[in-house]
Amino acid sequence: MQPASVFHKDTTESTMDDARSAVLSGYGHGTLCTATKQNSGRGRIPGRKWEDDGEGALLFTLVIHENKCGVKYPVTQLLALAVCQWLEDVHGLQPQIKWPNDVCISGAKIAGILVEKEGPFFLAGIGVNFRQNSFSKAFRQPATSLALAKGIHANQSHTEGFELSALLTRIELNLNVNPPIQEVIHRLRGIGFEVELCLGYPDQKKKLRGRMLGLQKDGALLIELESGNTHAVYSGEIDGIQINTK
């Protein structure tokens, strides 16, 4: 994908805010805002932030017009699928999607996705751990990077520009072909296992436990309750997955 316009900052508060400002200034589909470091990168849940030390994460927000995206499930899941396919095709890894917006390798988070709306545009924010060799123990969940998963820090051909271009190409392909929800389900972490979810936002303290069945066509997470009934979850966060590793 060749971006229509590119705006880069060595340090910014948030590429999401940069992209929103670009849209409000008249820039449209294909606008790309990148940064080496974010001071206030945010997560999907209010109050959470993207932890960034400026030491090698891919940080960007891509502006996508709503008419360019024809899937019936959330754009967040389409982007998570693109990240997985890029990691598979370019690096031979086996990533999984932790519903609704994280990409993991062996249970550790390698990428996070945040999508916001501004008029007819999706602001598609993606952060990928790239060159980091360690992570703070204060992180809410285990984290990894391409350097740790693949050792690409020793391969100078894999630059940030190379990786970003490959990922943008995959995103553009998915926007053009509108992959079926089964492609997302195929990479969903925890299918068939017991999971515990926080419904809505965690501070609402609403919990749900059951067996993960997959996704509806609209992207809702399907959970089989102890009663045998199936419940569709549209907003929440997986708090734990009971995976038998024996």
- Asked whether residue 31 carries a pLDDT value surpassing 70, the answer given is yes
Q: What are the tens digits of pLDDT across the range 173-197?
A: 999 999 999 999 999 999 999 999 9
Name the residue with higher pLDDT: 136 or 3: 3
* pLDDT range class, residue 165, cuts 50, 70, 90: very high
Q: What is the C-alpha separation between 48 and 101, in angstroms, rounded?
A: 14
pLDDT classification of 24: cutoffs 50, 70, 90? very high
Whether residue 54 has pLDDT greater than 90: no
Choose between 3 and 224: higher pLDDT: 224
What confidence score (pLDDT) does residue 134 get?
Answer: 76
Amino acid at 43: G
Residues 6 or more apart whose Cβ sits within 8 Å of residue 154: none
End-to-end CA distance of the chain: 43
Say if pTM beats, i.e. exceeds, 0.85.
yes
| Per-residue b or e along 176-201, where b marks 16 or more CB atoms closer than 10 Å to that residue's CB | eeebebeebbebbbbbeebbebbbee
Which pair of tokens denotes residue 95? 């990533």
pLDDT at position 171 over 80 = yes
**Long-range interactions of 134-143: CB distance < 8 A, separation 24+:** 136/51, 139/51, 140/48, 141/108, 141/109, 142/107, 142/108, 142/109, 143/108, 143/109, 143/110
What is the predicted pLDDT for the residue at 139? 63
CA–CA gap between residue 70 and residue 175 (Å, rounded) = 7
> Which whole number is the average pLDDT over 74-81?
97
Task: Read off the DSSP letter of residue 234.
Answer: S
Q: CB atoms < 10 A from the CB of 72, how many?
A: 11
What six digits make up the tokens of 109? 């988070």
Under 8 Å between Cβ of 198 and 239: yes
Mean pLDDT for all residues in the chain: 88
Element (H, E) at 198: strand 194-199
Q: What DSSP string runs through 13-79?
A: S-HHHHHHHHHHTT--TTEEEEEEEESS-B-SSTT-B----SSS-EEEEEEEEGGG---SS-HHHHH
Q: Looking at residues 154-163, what average pLDDT do you find?
A: 71
- DSSP structural state of residue 1: -
Return the CA Rg of the chain: 18
Q: Whose structure tokens read 């370019």?
A: 90
What the block records as the tokens of 145 is 């990077």
Alpha carbon distance 61, 23 (integer Å): 12
Return the minimum-mean-pLDDT range out of 23-27, 75-79, 199-203: 199-203
pLDDT tens for 218-239 read: 999 999 999 999 999 998 888 7
Q: Any idea which of 8-22, 51-65, 219-233 has the lowest mean pLDDT?
A: 51-65
